[in-house]
Chain A
Amino acid sequence: MVTYIVRRLITAALILLGASFLVYLLTASSGDPLEEFRASSAANKQQLMDARSELLDLDTPAPLRYFKWLGGAAKCLVPFGGSCDLGKNIAGQPITEALGFALVQTLTLVTGATVLAILIGIALGIITALRQYSALDYGVTFMAFLFFSLPIFWVAVLLKEYGAIGFNDFLRNPEIPLPVALVIGAVAGVIVAVAVGGVARRRLVSGGIVFLAASLILIYFSVVQWFRNPGLGPVVIAIAGVGIAFAVTVLVAGLKNKRALQSSLIVVVLGVVAYFAVQPLLNEATALMIVLLGIATIGVGVGTGYLMGGYDRGQSMRAAGITAFLVGGLILMDRFMQAWPSYFNNSRVRGRPIATIGAGTPNIQGDFWVLSLDTFTHLILPTMALILVSLASYTRFTRSSMLEIMNMDYIRTARAKGLSERSVVMGHAFRNALIPIATIVAFDIGALIGGAVITETVFSVRGMGFLFLDGIMHTDPNPVMGVFVCVAVTAMVFNLIADLAYSALDPRVRIKA
């Protein structure tokens, strides 16, 4: 195992050396960094050209410059040396500094999108695999192909037009006309009717209920101007919490496990009590406090499950823990909604909350909630665009992986033993289907930090992709190299992790040392 890892790392280092040399030469030869001065008519033209030649060390031939750069970059390998030197960019800023800033921007942009895409994609994949060749399966398959085929910049422009400008206009006067509410309700009803499956009667009933509920909620929202002053309130949290408790228990333990259901319901009651208890505390919130509260919430859930016990203590703990986490999320969402009017009326936002470009409103002032809302409203469009284009591959991937597993002998054995469909799907099939998915997820996380060049361009986020593109446009090798090394190292490390994870998860696969 150790031999294998060492061998992989050495190969990776050699590959990295070769590739970085090529990248440096390509960037250096891709254009003329002095071009903008050659055409200029400024009096100090020669001086400017000399200054830039000095800055970029243009008198040294590119291959030699690479080795100079490599000498500086090699210092980065010394841990805590603090002498990391990746050169400077064309504006004289050290690359290490620029990279640090860009990395934060890119990670805030892509992390949420990737996590959501993975979760939704896997869920859709499992459902379509279980309903193979149903209307739902065909619908999702078609959507997956459509999303595969969408250029992200096109989606981004559409989202800007309808998601931001259109939605902001709507917020100015948030009234939903009756026909629109009915149509949206009907669409929701049809989707549910298709998704539920089963006999026609059951489909019709569930579709009808959803149609009525959705239309009524929309009409209610319109009447009370909910979109201006959104909020959930303890009653909605309690109702939604009970729903969550049942759903989580069905998935994790099955409704037959009374203790698991009881622990989840107790957690919901605790959550509603906590809703009133934590309100004053939340007014003073910081990011650290939210994280700590989140951990405490899960702890309370797991503890409740432990105390309730039952014939399978683990199931109760898991069900209660997940329920606690989700109810905590609802409380958090409610607090964000309470902060919405003050964000909406902020002098910098001026009633147009959904932003089309950038990563934050410049010079915005406010407490934790307003600042977080500002980040969210800037992230929502790029996140949606990224989810749309990456959702499809996870869905298709999970579906095919799941279909393959459902065909295995041990699934038939599990059914033959008389296990419930829930434990066959969740316990036997899903866990094994996760193995190939885990490797793909590891690959994608590796590709994450360099991945969103186009999204960053469209939404003017100054992340890694922007740095890279800017370097190319100015024939400036140092930022290009900085981004390349970061991306390549993460990709290689995560590829290694993916391989190791595969062999750790699937005992049939053994690594050859």
Chain B
Amino acid sequence: MSQPTQQEEFLAEHSHPRPPGASFEPEAKGLSQGQIVRKRFLGHSGAIAGLFIFVFIFLLAFTSVGWAGIPGWWKYDHLDVSPLVNDGVPTASLWLPAWGEHPFGQDRIGRDLFAMTMRGAQQSITIMVLIGTIAGLLGTVIGGLSGYFRGWVEAVLMRITDVIIIIPVLLLAAVVAQTVNRRDQGGWFSGFAASNGILILGIFLGLVSWVGLARLMRGEFLTLREREFVDAARISGASNARIIFKHILPNAIGVLIVNVTLTMSAAILLETALSYLGVGVKSPDTSLGLLISQNQEAFSTRPWLFWFPGLFIVLICLSINFIGDGLRDAFDPRQKKFNAKKAKDTKTGGEPEKAPAAAADGSAGD
């Protein structure tokens, strides 16, 4: 949780308002914005690799052990205990590609680590999607409303944001975890929570992680509503709803998508960290963070119990980060402008540099 997020970086990149008339590269000619974005995204090899890895992990996790009652193709469940094969050493090997009985090995009592890891990856992906969706929706609505309407709406909403942003996530997670644990007290909520701990956790975390996005969207709306095309729309009699949905939102969608992606990659680490601290997912259910926390003592005797869940956390998070980076490059028209080599060549009499964007002329300090 102490990890600074990429959002900070993104915020900084956008701390200067985008200069009006930022120059597009020649490739922009004759293409719609969607086409440009798609083309650039597909040209970003890191993002494509990330996308492939993520889709692969997604399919592997959700088809292998099944999800929501649908059985999967893998023979074990994350709760099944089977006799120890070869003292639980992983049977998969890379030299002679083999899968074996327990590809990732078994833990001390004989549960299959592949099934547990897949279950954990499912949990991580579920939480990530939940947090991304909820935080994205709430952040857009609240940030958009306060940025567009200003006045008392903005004052109230932004003060609420300020209050929520300083309440520690760990505390909220602990409260949720306690609620989930009180199974005996009846009531539909605790009943639901007891059987769907992961959903409740995801929803709650989503309800607190929209604040950064809301601030960002507010800033975006504040800049966009002053632009000429919004004035033009207003003069021609467009309603507020039309201006917001047809004119402002499509222009802010890039910032939104990129930051939802980054929130999602932070969400995975958040869930694993909370599970590690014992306030996230609780056993008998499992998650990647919980697996590491349970098995770190056994590192010297059964290192695989530690390697595989960690590997999956890193892989999921890394692929999401690369997708986010690709999206950022794709949506940001200012990318790929400065090139030190080119600048140097220009100095020694090469081809004259293309006119860069006008200097950003001051941002409102508030």
On whether the beta carbons of B318 and A491 are closer than 8 Å, the reply is no
B90 contacts the other chain (Cβ, under 8 Å)?
no
Residue pairs across A and B with CB atoms within 8 Å: the count is 189
B339 touching A30, Cβ below 8 Å: no
A246 at the interface (CB under 8 A from B): no
CA distance A110 to B310 in the complex (A): 24
Residue A401, interface by CB 8 Å: yes
Selected contact of B293 from candidates A22, A30, A153, A451, CB within 8 Å: A153
A13-39 vs B, CB cutoff 8 Å, 1 = contact: the mask equals 011101100110011011100000000
**Are the CB atoms of B362 and A509 closer together than 8 Å?**
yes
Q: Which of B171, B347, B357, B361 contacts A27 (CB 8 A)?
A: B171
Which residue on A lies nearest to B15, using beta carbons?
A436
Q: Which residue of A lies closest to B319 (CB)?
A: A149
Smallest CB separation, A455 vs chain B (Å): 7
| Of the residues B168, B269, B313, contact of A450 by C-beta under 8 Å | B168
In the bound complex, CA of A30 to CA of B325 (Å): 38
- State which residues 90-139 of A face B: CB under 8 Å: 129-133
Does the CB pair B9–A406 fall under 8 Å?
Answer: no
Nearest residue (CB) in B for A410 is B359
Interface assignment of A403: CB less than 8 Å from any CB of chain B = yes
Query: Distance (Å) between the CB of A416 and the closest chain B CB?
Result: 9
Asked whether any CB of chain A lies closer than 8 Å to the CB of B166, the reply is: yes
**Residue among A153, A386, A408 facing the most chain B CB atoms (10 A cut-off):** A153
In the complex, whether B83 has a CB less than 8 A from a CB of chain A is: no
Q: If the complex has contacts A23-B167, A512-B366, are A400 and B357 also in contact, measured as CB distance less than 8 A?
A: no
Is residue B5 within 8 Å, beta carbon to beta carbon, of the partner chain?
A: yes
Taking CB atoms, residues of chain B closer than 8 Å to A491 are 166
> Is A152 in contact with B3, judged by CB distance below 8 angstroms?
yes
In the assembled complex, A510 has its CB within 8 A of some CB on chain B: yes
B70 at the interface (CB under 8 A from A): no
Is A154's CB under 8 angstroms from B313's CB? yes
User: Which residue on chain A has the smallest CB distance to residue B357?
Assistant: A407
Q: Within the complex, what minimum Cβ distance (angstroms) separates B254 from chain A?
A: 16
CB of A220 within 8 Å of the partner chain: no
Residue from A26, A148, A404, A412 in contact with B317 in the complex, judged by beta carbons closer than 8 Å: A148
A154–B310 CB distance below 8 A = yes
* B174–chain A nearest beta-carbon distance, Å: 4
Complex contact A407–B356 (CB within 8 A)? yes
Distance from A31 Cβ to chain B, minimum over Cβ atoms (Å): 5
- Select one of B166, B339, B357 contacting A488, CB under 8 A: B166
Whole-angstrom distance between the Cβ of A38 and the nearest chain B Cβ: 12
Check B236 for interface membership: any CB of A closer than 8 A.
Answer: no
Complex interface bits, A468-510 against B, C-beta within 8 A gives 1, otherwise 0? 1100110000001000100110011000000100110000111
The residues of A that contact B174 with a CB separation of less than 8 Å are: 30, 472-473
Of the listed stretches B32-40, B94-102, B187-195, B270-278, name the one at the interface; the rest are far from the partner chain.
Answer: B270-278
Q: Mark A151-180, 1 if CB is under 8 A from B, else 0.
A: 111100100010000000000000000000
Name the one of A132, A148, A394, A468 contacting B340, with C-beta atoms under 8 angstroms: A132
| Of B164, B166, B277, B365, the contact of A454 (CB 8 Å cutoff) | B277
Q: Determine which of B3, B9, B314 lies in contact with A146 in the assembled complex, contact meaning CB atoms within 8 Å.
A: B314
Asked if B12 and A510 sit within 8 Å, CB to CB, the answer is no
B265 to A149, Cβ gap below 8 A?
A: yes
Our pick among B2, B166, B293, B339 for the contact of A19 (Cβ within 8 Å) is B166
Set of chain A residues within 8 Å of B322, measured between Cβ atoms: 145
Residue B226 at the chain A interface, CB threshold 8 Å: no
Instruction: Confirm or deny: B252 has a beta carbon within 8 angstroms of a beta carbon on chain A.
Output: no
Specify the chain B residue showing the minimal Cβ separation from A396. B9
Contact B170 A132 (CB under 8 A): no
Determine, out of A59-67, A329-337, A369-377, A440-448, the stretch whose residues face the partner at the interface. A440-448
CB–CB B365/A502 < 8 A? yes
Evaluate contact between B340 and A130: CB separation under 8 angstroms: yes
Query: When the two chains form the complex, which single residue of B178, B277, B299, B337 contacts A407, counting CB atoms closer than 8 Å?
Result: B337
Most buried by A among B318, B338, B361, B362: B338
Q: Is A69 an interface residue (CB 8 A)?
A: no
Asked if A31 contacts B162 (CB within 8 A), the reply is no
Question: Are A23 and B171 in contact, with the CB atoms below 8 A?
Answer: yes
Contact A152 B2 (CB under 8 A): yes
Q: What is the CA–CA distance of A473 and B178 in the complex, to the nearest angstrom?
A: 10
Cβ of A196 within 8 Å of any chain B Cβ, yes or no, is: no
B159 touches A406 (CB 8 A): no
Contacts of A472 in B (CB 8 A): 170-171, 174, 279
Residues of B within 8 A of A488 (CB): 166
Alpha-carbon distance between A119 and B293 when the two chains are bound, in angstroms: 32
A145 contact from B8, B318, B341, Cβ within 8 A: B318
Q: Given known contacts A145-B322, A151-B310, A386-B2, is B8 in contact with A393 (CB within 8 Å)?
A: yes
Interface mask (B296-333 → A, CB under 8 Å = 1, otherwise 0): 10011000001000100110011001100100000000
Q: A111 CA to B326 CA in the complex, in Å?
A: 34
Tell me, yes or no, whether B6 is within 8 Å of chain A by CB: yes
Residue of chain A at shortest CB distance from B347: A415
Bound together, the chains give a CA A495 to CA B362 distance in angstroms of 20
| Across-interface contacts of A14 in B (CB, < 8 A) | 159
Interface flag for A307 (CB, 8 Å): no
Chain B nearest CB from A335 CB (Å) reads 33
A221→B364 CA distance, assembly (Å):
57
Q: Bits for B30-51, please: 1 = Cβ < 8 Å to A, else 0.
A: 0000000000000000000000
On whether the beta carbons of A453 and B2 are closer than 8 Å, the reply is yes
Partner of B6, one of A150, A393, A444, A509: A393
| Given contacts A22-B167, A31-B178, A443 and B277 within 8 Å (CB-CB) | no
- Cα distance, A380 to B299, chains bound together (Å): 21
B239 at the interface (CB under 8 A from A): no
Q: Are B8 and A508 in contact (CB under 8 A)?
A: no
- With A145-B318, A157-B292, A472-B171 as contacts: A133 and B8 at CB distance below 8 Å: no
A residues in contact with B166, CB < 8 Å: 15-16, 19, 488, 491-492
When the two chains form the complex, which single residue of A451, A473, A512 contacts B365, counting CB atoms closer than 8 Å?
Answer: A512
Chain A nearest CB, measured from B341 CB (Å): 8
Q: Are A404 and B364 in contact (CB under 8 A)?
A: no
B81 within 8 A of A: no
In Å, the complex CA distance between A509 and B325 comes to 29
Give 5 A-B contacts (CB < 8 Å), ordered by A residue. Answer: A389-B2, A415-B343, A453-B1, A472-B279, A509-B362
Query: Which 10 pairs show the lowest CB-CB distances between chains A and B?
Result: A149-B317, A451-B2, A508-B362, A509-B365, A393-B4, A407-B338, A30-B175, A149-B318, A154-B310, A472-B174
Q: A15-B166, A132-B341, A151-B313 are in contact. List 6 more A-B contacts (CB 8 A).
A: A15-B162, A400-B13, A454-B273, A469-B277, A511-B366, A512-B366
